[in-house]
Amino acid sequence: MRATVIHGTHDIRVDDVPDPSIIKPTDAIVKITASCVCGSDLWSYRGITPVEEPKRIGHELVGVIEEVGSEVKTLKPGDFVIAPFATSDGTCVNCQHGMHTSCVNGSFFSAADKDGLIDGGQGEWARAPWADGTLVKVPEMPDADMIPSLLTLSDVMGTGHHAAIAAGVKPGDRVVVVGDGAVGLSAVLAASRLGAERIILMSRHADRQAIGKRFGATDIVEERGPDGIARIQELLGGPGADAALECVGTQESLEQAVGATRPGGRVGYVGLPHAVSQVPIFQMFLTNVSLSGGIAPVRSYLDELLKDVLDGTIEPGLVFDLQLPLGEVADAYAAMDERRSIKTLLWPGR
């Protein structure tokens, strides 16, 4: 089959790779309908995470079940499914706590489990381990225009939602969102969905600001650092936000989030803290600002968010501002790298 392989910095190609097959009776094979490029894929693309040898990449996918192993009970060929970026058995102690990303049998798409490679999303097919636990069935075959929103449930919408849940966003809250990428915008939508009264999006890009407002942002702050904090305090007429959602993962973004939060407020963080050298613990101690979050257990939120997507309550798929056939994946990465696209959807079948 054809699938995306990263060969080195700025070198991404569609190669011929082995077709996936059922390895364990709990596996399923999914024919991929749509996939996309994640901000975290850019770490390798930009060479920040070195690429030692060519490797498969991608971890967001929706598609149709083609084959199931003999122990798969809840899925059958023809079912349309959403795959969260992490695989999980759904039954272990951590899954029971809703922490599917810490599943004792789990792994990640584009990584490997002890049975071998788990195909990434950016290809024609994928093996999905622990199919009953990992995959979520969509009740009916969705229309094409529903696909982008369903695809966000494999990562960015669930991740933005996790930031809001980690920060305990509740009706009436005043929330700051740091980061205007697809996850930050999803966090705006999640905060709005949870009833936040004010949502301040920190953004300097008109296209992202527009989607942020459509998702429920009540205010935009373009300033950063101390000026950004001062502007937030001015807008809120007080010592800061009840909650800040940190959706970037740098030292500056974490300090921005902590500084924008009122005493006793909560920072929910989902940006991979790749570039965080120092958590401002003393400032947090003196102000009782808490820090919750991490890699999002998207699976645990999927049923709830799926319902809202299907009934039209939310349309997170608006974060996709570029759609390309799989064969043009190099353009997809370049467009996101150069910020010409917020998030790019890939169609393997086109």
Footprint on this chain of a copy of itself (rule: CB under 8 A): 93-94, 97-99, 101-102, 104, 166, 238-239, 262-264, 266, 269, 272-273, 276, 278-279, 281-282, 284-295, 297
| Shortest Cβ 129–a copy of itself spacing (Å) | 19
Spell out the alpha helix ranges (H) of the chain.
41-45, 93-96, 131-134, 147-152, 156-166, 182-193, 206-215, 225-236, 251-259, 281-287, 298-310, 329-337
| Shortest Cβ 231–a copy of itself spacing (Å) | 18
Strand partners, 339: none
The residue among 151 and 254 lying less far from a copy of itself, judged by its C-beta, is 254
| Shortest Cβ 184–a copy of itself spacing (Å) | 17
- For residue 5, what are its two tokens? 């392989």
Amino acid at 251: Q
185 by DSSP, 3-state: which? Answer: helix
| Shortest Cβ 277–a copy of itself spacing (Å) | 9
The residue among 112 and 286 lying less far from a copy of itself, judged by its C-beta, is 286
| Shortest Cβ 175–a copy of itself spacing (Å) | 15
The residue among 104 and 141 lying less far from a copy of itself, judged by its C-beta, is 104
The residue among 25 and 238 lying less far from a copy of itself, judged by its C-beta, is 238
Integer angstrom CA distances of residue 181 from 81, 177, 265, 344: 25, 11, 23, 12
| Shortest Cβ 262–a copy of itself spacing (Å) | 7
| Shortest Cβ 161–a copy of itself spacing (Å) | 14
Distance CA 43, CA 51 (A): 10
Q: Is residue 41 a contact partner of residue 4, using CB atoms and an 8 Å limit?
A: no
Burial code (b: 16+ CB inside 10 Å, e: under 16) for 308-335 equals: bbbeeebbbbbbbbbbbebebbbbbbbb
The residue among 35 and 44 lying less far from a copy of itself, judged by its C-beta, is 44
CB-based burial of residue 195 (10 Å sphere; 0-12 exposed, 13-18 middle, 19+ buried)? exposed
User: What length does the chain have?
Assistant: 350
Amino acid at 112: A
The residue among 47 and 263 lying less far from a copy of itself, judged by its C-beta, is 263
CA 223 vs. chain centroid, Å, equals: 25
| Shortest Cβ 54–a copy of itself spacing (Å) | 26
The residue among 93 and 230 lying less far from a copy of itself, judged by its C-beta, is 93
The residue among 142 and 294 lying less far from a copy of itself, judged by its C-beta, is 294
The residue among 108 and 347 lying less far from a copy of itself, judged by its C-beta, is 108
Amino acid at 349: G
305 by DSSP, 3-state: which? Answer: helix
| Shortest Cβ 58–a copy of itself spacing (Å) | 20
- Dihedral angle computed from the Cα positions of residues 96, 100, 103 and 106, in that order, rounded to the nearest 10 degrees: 140
